[in-house]
A and B are shown apart, each in its own frame.
Chain A
């Protein structure tokens, strides 16, 4: 149960500075919290509420709408197996069944060692590579039952390395202060500098 760390708080302020209104940073900050703890804790939500200046209930309202945000630990590795139409046609149901059997868990639950959870998910935009899956949102294409077993073994013995659940892009956007355009919220009626003459005279 933790608020954002010092280092993450600095990132949070960076993110906040890019939006004309603070509340827009809610989803990016929820991702930051999930990256820190593996899921979104109550304390982090309260902290985010302070930062974006809304009530914690509003942050929860946003958080609970989105499938990726987890309110409880889901294991180090979240395996999302696509069961969208293209994957369905090429054997997704069998793959999910195989995953449940070999791991001894049902969809949405975590293995006893707390490492792996699986879930059938909607189309992950890799339809031509069906059947496919994501481990912590990293793709594996054309997955056979044997391929799945190799993946699980690799995750368990560390030969397959995937950033832990909650970590998305490893590179963050940086906008150096001296390079920022900073015209996010120009005064009403103020045309941007490059705009030639008042419109509407046509």
Chain B
């Protein structure tokens, strides 16, 4: 199923990060084409492409771009390169291996939506990606692709490289804006539901993911129709998935969106190549730490947004983490919950207290200090964060981070309750001193 690659098309070219090589391989042609069109024509191509945002929520980019209130200026573009959802590894590759492609996508977006400045927010821990982007921008400025009167036109925009300093929550778009304003990275209360209305400095702001931006040059170069011709009804084009965990060939694979199945990408020889050491599959995380787990019976689902949503999970950030039969699911669950407990920004009580308690209860179960009532306690605390523990989750919190911590608990308890019970029956409660709570 060799499908044309879009965003990773230059990954085999180890010099693609240099401007000359980028241009020699068709780089900045999308920008040239865009500048020969009107902004609204460019916007229409992206609408036609039905490009879904690649950052997690999967909202159509062309629709989001249309949410900027008319005649309000200035407007900003903030590109989300905070990639830190456990299991996710694609944006860093796009930034390191083909930085100009991301920059070109940003420029076209600014042109199409009338955005007057772009901030490229790269995760703080990614020193190499920051370096590649800085070099690429310096070259692009010198050659007139970025900055004043781009390619001799009246289109002028600055792209500013900004980097974070270590906080997963900053990936949430309103927290990203807070961080860019120099504040603690805490999400804003909604409404307004979209920064497109009220964003950076209170101005209309488009927030898009790095991979979303990387698709734009191809779409403008080849047309929205060509993009929409790839993929399935509700999931067009291609998508990049990182497959990690207990597989033979962990790796980052760009596949046709919506038609490839989990079985193809996990078991297929041209992709992850099946389970390591011939072990059986126990379960897998289909879309990053926030996603409810999938199992053997889900393998034939296509990597398609609606199908995966209906099956009770999400493709999220394109992170597939595979667990084999020997995996201790209580520990795996604890690992994910600990992540959310650590990364909770602390702004709302159900998440701050709830995730902390969930982590503590799981810790004590693993430490052999679990109590029979702990399993219902886990559900009770989860219920306080995400009433009904359903999918899609409801939330008592400001942002979806709190409910995300419930996903692994609900998945693990439903499917592997016996493993939790084993920990608890085998635990030696007698070591707890009398009077200890």
A interface residues with partner B (beta carbon < 8 Å): 18-21, 23-28, 30-31, 52, 54, 61-62, 65-69, 80, 83-86, 88-90, 122-130, 134, 136-139, 168-176, 178-196, 198-200
Contact B321 A86 (CB under 8 A): yes
Task: Name B74-88 residues within 8 Å CB distance of A.
Answer: 74, 83-88
List residues of chain A with CB within 8 A of the CB of B319.
127
List residues of chain A with CB within 8 A of the CB of B280.
none
List residues of chain B with CB within 8 A of the CB of A125.
83-84, 88-89, 91-92, 123, 125-126
Contact A24 B180 (CB under 8 A): yes
Nearest to B123 among chain A residues (CB) is A125
Task: Name B371-412 residues within 8 Å CB distance of A.
Answer: none
Interface of A is mostly: loop
Contact A23 B181 (CB under 8 A): yes
B310 near A: Cβ within 8 Å?
no
List residues of chain A with CB within 8 A of the CB of B126.
125, 137
Instruction: Jot down 16 A-B pairs with beta carbons below 8 A, ordered by A.
Output: A20-B74, A27-B179, A65-B184, A66-B167, A68-B165, A84-B335, A85-B86, A86-B87, A89-B246, A123-B84, A175-B160, A181-B157, A191-B71, A192-B157, A195-B114, A198-B71
A124 to B91, CA, bound (A): 12
B312 near A: Cβ within 8 Å?
no
- Interface footprint category on B: 35 or more
A125 to B138, CA, bound (A): 25
Contact A128 B251 (CB under 8 A): yes
Besides A90-B245, A127-B88, 14 other A-B contacts (C-beta < 8 A): A67-B166, A85-B285, A85-B339, A123-B85, A128-B244, A168-B127, A169-B163, A171-B135, A173-B160, A179-B142, A181-B156, A181-B157, A194-B153, A196-B40
Partner of A200 from the list B71, B83, B201, B252 (CB cut-off 8 Å) is: B71
Nearest 8 pairs between A and B by C-beta? A67-B166, A66-B165, A26-B182, A200-B70, A23-B182, A199-B70, A181-B156, A169-B130
Q: Quick one: which of B39, B144, B183 has the most chain A CB within 10 A?
A: B183
List residues of chain A with CB within 8 A of the CB of B182.
21, 23-27, 52, 54, 62
B interface residues with partner A (beta carbon < 8 Å): 38-40, 70-74, 83-89, 91-92, 111, 114, 116-117, 123-128, 130-131, 133-135, 137-138, 141-142, 144, 146-148, 153-158, 160-168, 179-185, 201, 242-246, 250-252, 285, 289, 319, 321, 323, 327, 331-332, 335-336, 339, 342-343, 345
Contact B148 A179 (CB under 8 A): yes
- Nearest-CB distance from A88 to chain B (Å)? 5
List residues of chain A with CB within 8 A of the CB of B157.
181, 183, 192
List residues of chain A with CB within 8 A of the CB of B89.
125-128
Nearest to A59 among chain B residues (CB) is B182
List residues of chain B with CB within 8 A of the CB of A61.
183-184
Nearest to B331 among chain A residues (CB) is A88
List residues of chain B with CB within 8 A of the CB of A187.
73
Partner of A127 from the list B40, B154, B180, B244 (CB cut-off 8 Å) is: B244
